A = this chain, B = another copy of it.
Amino acid sequence: MIKVAIYGGSGYTGQELLRLLLDHPGVEVVATTSRRYARTPVAEVYPQFLGLTDLTFTDASPETVAGLADLVFLALPHGVSMDMAPAFVGTGRKVIDLSADFRIRDAGVYGAWYGPHRAVETLQGTVYGLPEIHREEIRRASFVANPGCYPTSIILGLAPVLKSQWIDPASVIADSKSGVSGAGREPQIGSLFCEVDGAFKAYKVGNHRHTPEIEQELSLLAGRAMTISFTPHLLPVKRGILSTIYATITHKASLEEVTSLYQDYYREEPFVRICRAGQVPNLSSVVGSNFCDIGVTVDKRTGRLIVVSVIDNLIKGASGQAIQNMNLMSGLDEKTGLPVVALFP
């Protein structure tokens, strides 16, 4: 049994980690921390855990937690994570960080979008934890930066055509829509039921902080620097991200050929599914699962490829992917403990 701890466990990604880890046959959760809820049983904060765990939130130090666990998930806000992570690294524990702090290779780029990086040394030794792209490095890593939710949906949606150079890298537009859980559990007016239900809006148009993370990975795939348009929207659903991605096709190909390209690229992947030619995925087919479903369309009238990809932002976009990474880092079957059938309806 791997002993794992969740550092910063009272938010939605923290409780989702706990939910999934309690069903995972190879791990034992030894601690979960929260300053706000220190000394409160988890089942009082989240009554769905009533009778299922005796864990109580603690405000233990990184050192104490590192002393209990083989592997630690950091589910902290960005900016906080980079101050905590080095303490865990120093103890030799494996770390999977769910914040944005260690996803961007270039500290200068990080600085331009997030502010100064205060743990550049730790940053050097981290691996970007998207298994479908970096599986072998993840297996060998001791510190994995778990990808953002929007980036996961967009990078997986474009990898096959970028790798094959079938599209113009300068033409990429990603129009993404996310459920409200992506905004976390902090009380704020913009996340209230009365503000979100029946509503819909774009936000941070042209300047969302996931942009450099997406561009970093797309550029690696394309083999050249890429700049994209990325527009996030707030969808009145609890979970899920759908990205509609547009790009100009440079390699003449039929719908069937593009579909085949995707199917071949992801043939061995346990958590990526390609829709039949001409089909596009529905968010509801992946909510509750670790899948990324992708559908492609070739618009002959305009010469554009349109890719639609969907994930559950709390699972494949956060906690599920973190467990997928944990499995890889620990030599377990990558699929262990991860849900595959969506909860529908």
Instruction: Report A's interface with B, CB cutoff 8 A.
Output: 12, 15, 19, 22-23, 46-52, 173, 175, 177, 180-181, 185, 187-189, 191-203, 205-206, 227-229, 231, 233, 235-240, 242, 244, 246, 273, 275, 279-289, 293, 297-299, 301-302, 304, 306, 308, 310, 340-345
Contact = CB atoms under 8 A, between A and B. Distances in A.
Nearest to A203: B280
Contact of A240 (B200, B244, B298): B200
Given A47-B275, A49-B341, A288-B343, 14 more contacts: A52-B340, A52-B341, A187-B189, A193-B195, A197-B198, A197-B236, A197-B237, A198-B284, A200-B282, A200-B283, A201-B281, A206-B301, A236-B236, A246-B246
B22 A341 contact: yes
A237 B177 CA distance: 14
Given A48-B284, A205-B306, A227-B301, A200 B237 contact: yes
A288 B47 CA distance: 14
| Number of copies of this chain that the complex holds | 4
Nearest to A301: B227
Given A193-B180, A193-B197, A306-B231, A48 B344 contact: yes
Contacts of A206: 297-299, 301-302, 306
Contact of A50 (B23, B187, B293): B293
B289 A341 contact: no
A285 B344 CA distance: 17
Nearest to A270: B51
B198 A198 contact: yes
A198 B282 contact: no
A345 B297 contact: no
A192 B192 CA distance: 4
Given A193-B236, A194-B345, A273 B185 contact: no
A300 to B, nearest CB: 8
Given A180-B194, A194-B191, A341-B23, A199 B236 contact: no
A47 B236 contact: no
Nearest to A187: B187
A319 B95 CA distance: 39
A78 to B, nearest CB: 20
B50 A175 contact: no
B48 A15 contact: no
A342 B315 CA distance: 14
